[in-house]
């Protein structure tokens, strides 16, 4: 009996040892399993991250392809990309409002509605912005209108098309009061209007026009016949503000009255040279010289290109006051008529020294020389009231 007890005890001890060994083995396996599971989770996360990176690279490749294909089509894809990006940001805000500890469901829904509207507006804005930048690179003169009042631009574009627009018969009325028009003599009234025309605030377009007139006056003072193409043709001037003719020589002038903070760049030189080349093709027998005259400066690169391409330039040339009354002799009946800067045919009237025509500063000077002020021109039927507009200088 005692032997059986001893055997049982020994067998129990052996069984406990075996079970303990098995338990330790199982624990080790469990530990290894946990370690492998952690590594497997890391591998899964790395795989997901790798797939995400691959997806991003693929999206970037597609984006580059879209940019290449659409660079000259207004960049619609890029505009959509910006719009979608901002839309996702707005949706993230909406989700935050909906899922925060104290949800704001109505506000979240409102944000989603606004986000959808904003996406459409952002796409349109980006599309138009890219197109404008693209057009400004193609047509540098568009930059001149940056910051211009939209109403002034509309008036400029339509001024030759709207024949029936209401305006005073005499633009002196714009610069004088009814009382002055009643009490002042005609000479004093005209001079008062001219003085105010000089000092009144002007739009960028008007300042640019006055700058072209001033540079043109300087050329006329040197014996050139000047056609003010920039003023006469408006947006269709082909980048030729002034065409200055003397004998067999022509100087095609581009004028830029810009603030000192802005610079002339090489693209403006290219535009001038391009229009001069077209002029040379149309007038092969004349010597044509391109001139760029500006109130500001040329960039160093612009100077290098101008020198290499034979474009002459004058920098830091500000707008100055000059004798602005044009005294003209009619080719029809010899009438001696003067034009103020705001008169209808002012920019189409050319001054020729050989015909005793001139510029003067005051109305008194003009009247003392025997000139009277031009009447408002109303068409062919009334053309006898106004000195005949001079023709464009004849070119060889």
Q: Is residue 155 in a domain?
A: no
Nearest to 311 by CA among 332, 330, 333, 293: 293
In Å, what is the CA distance from 365 to each residue of 71, 151, 186, 189, 343? 60, 36, 14, 14, 18
Task: Kindly state whether residues 251 and 297 are assigned to the same domain.
Answer: yes
Nearest to 341 by CA among 359, 354, 356: 359
Task: Kindly state whether residues 363 and 276 are assigned to the same domain.
Answer: no
Q: Considering 105, 138, 171, which residue would you say is the last residue of a domain? A: 138
In this predicted structure, the answer to whether residue 72 has a pLDDT above a threshold of 50 is no
In this predicted structure, the answer to whether residue 246 has a pLDDT above a threshold of 60 is yes
Q: What are phi and psi of 103, to 5 degrees?
A: -60, 145
In this predicted structure, the answer to whether residue 149 has a pLDDT above a threshold of 70 is no
3-class SS of residue 211: helix
- Measured torsion, CA atoms of residues 369, 173, 201, 366, in degrees rounded to the nearest 10: 0
The confidence score (pLDDT) of residue 293 equals 96
Instruction: Identify which has the larger pLDDT, 179 or 113.
Output: 179
Q: Is residue 344 in a domain?
A: yes
Task: Kindly state whether residues 224 and 307 are assigned to the same domain.
Answer: yes
Instruction: Identify which has the larger pLDDT, 238 or 357.
Output: 357
Note whether 214 and 294 are within 8 A (CB).
no
Element (DSSP H or E) covering residue 295: none
CA dist., res. 366 & res. 389, Å (int): 18
**144: DSSP letter:** G
3-class SS of residue 225: strand
CATH number for the domain spanning 263: value is: 3.40.1350.10
In this predicted structure, the answer to whether residue 297 has a pLDDT above a threshold of 70 is yes
3-class SS of residue 298: strand
Strand-pairing partners, residue 339, are: 326
Task: Kindly state whether residues 247 and 310 are assigned to the same domain.
Answer: yes
Task: Kindly state whether residues 377 and 331 are assigned to the same domain.
Answer: yes
Task: Kindly state whether residues 215 and 309 are assigned to the same domain.
Answer: yes
Task: Kindly state whether residues 289 and 377 are assigned to the same domain.
Answer: no
Which residue in this structure is represented by tokens 């396996």? 29
Q: Considering 314, 337, 359, which residue would you say is the last residue of a domain? A: 314
14-33 average pLDDT score:
70
Q: Is residue 284 in a domain?
A: yes
Share of the chain above pLDDT 70, in %: 57
Q: Is residue 24 in a domain?
A: no
Instruction: Provide the 10 A C-beta neighbour count for residue 173.
Output: 15
CA dist., res. 336 & res. 372, Å (int): 6
Its domain, for residue 291, covers 199-314
Q: Is residue 374 in a domain?
A: yes
CA 370 to chain centre: 47
Specify the pairing of strand 225-227 against strand 242-246: antiparallel
Q: Is residue 71 in a domain?
A: no
Task: Kindly state whether residues 330 and 264 are assigned to the same domain.
Answer: no
In DSSP notation, 334-364 reads --EEEE-TTSTTGGGPPP-GGGT-EEESSHH
Task: Kindly state whether residues 211 and 288 are assigned to the same domain.
Answer: yes
What is the band of 384 on the pLDDT scale with cuts at 50, 70, 90? very low
Q: Is residue 371 in a domain?
A: yes
Instruction: Identify which has the larger pLDDT, 314 or 110.
Output: 314
In Å, what is the CA distance from 383 to each residue of 76, 118, 166, 278, 332? 53, 57, 20, 35, 10
Number of domains in the chain: 3
CA dist., res. 371 & res. 337, Å (int): 5
Note whether 344 and 197 are within 8 A (CB).
no
Task: Kindly state whether residues 329 and 308 are assigned to the same domain.
Answer: no
Q: Is residue 362 in a domain?
A: yes
Residue 212, C-beta contacts closer than 8 angstroms, at least 6 positions apart = 228, 230, 231, 241, 242, 255
């Amino acid at each position: 009996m005692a032997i059986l007890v001893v055997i049982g005890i020994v067998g129990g001890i052996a069984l406990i040892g075996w079970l303990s060994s098995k338990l330790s083995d199982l624990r080790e396996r469990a530990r290894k399993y946990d370690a492998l599971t952690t590594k497997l989770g890391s591998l899964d996360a790395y795989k997901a991250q790798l797939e995400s990176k691959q997806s991003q690279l693929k999206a970037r490749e597609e984006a580059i392809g879209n940019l290449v294909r659409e660079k000259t089509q207004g960049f619609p894809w890029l505009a959509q990309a910006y719009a979608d990006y901002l839309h996702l940001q707005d949706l993230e805000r909406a989700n935050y409002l909906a899922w925060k500890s104290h949800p704001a469901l109505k506000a979240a829904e409102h944000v989603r509605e606004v986000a959808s509207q904003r996406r459409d507006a952002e796409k349109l804005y980006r599309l138009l912005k890219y197109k404008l930048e693209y057009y400004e690179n193609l047509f540098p003169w568009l930059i001149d209108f940056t910051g211009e009042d939209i109403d002034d631009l509309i008036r400029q574009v339509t001024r030759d098309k709207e024949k029936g627009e209401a305006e005073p018969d005499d633009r002196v009325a714009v610069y004088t009061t009814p009382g002055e028009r009643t009490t002042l003599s005609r000479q004093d009234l005209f001079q008062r209007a001219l003085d105010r025309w000089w000092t009144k605030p002007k739009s960028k377009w008007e300042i640019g026009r006055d700058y072209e007139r001033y540079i043109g006056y300087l050329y006329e003072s040197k014996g050139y016949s000047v056609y003010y193409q920039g003023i006469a043709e408006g947006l269709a001037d082909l980048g030729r503000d002034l065409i200055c003719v003397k004998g067999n020589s022509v100087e095609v002038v581009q004028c830029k009255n810009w603030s000192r903070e802005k610079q002339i760049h090489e693209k403006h030189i290219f535009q001038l040279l391009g229009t001069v080349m077209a002029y040379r093709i149309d007038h092969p027998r004349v010597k044509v010289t391109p001139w760029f005259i500006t109130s500001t400066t040329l960039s160093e690169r612009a100077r290098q290109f101008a020198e290499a391409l034979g474009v002459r330039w004058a920098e830091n040339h500000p707008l100055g006051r000059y004798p602005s009354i044009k005294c003209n002799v009619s080719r029809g009946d010899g009438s001696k008529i003067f034009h103020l800067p705001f008169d209808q045919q002012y920019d189409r009237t050319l001054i020729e020294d050989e015909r005793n025509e001139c510029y003067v500063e005051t109305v008194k000077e003009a009247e003392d020389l025997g000139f009277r002020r031009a009447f408002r021109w109303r068409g062919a039927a009334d053309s006898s009231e106004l000195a005949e507009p001079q023709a464009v200088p004849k070119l060889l």
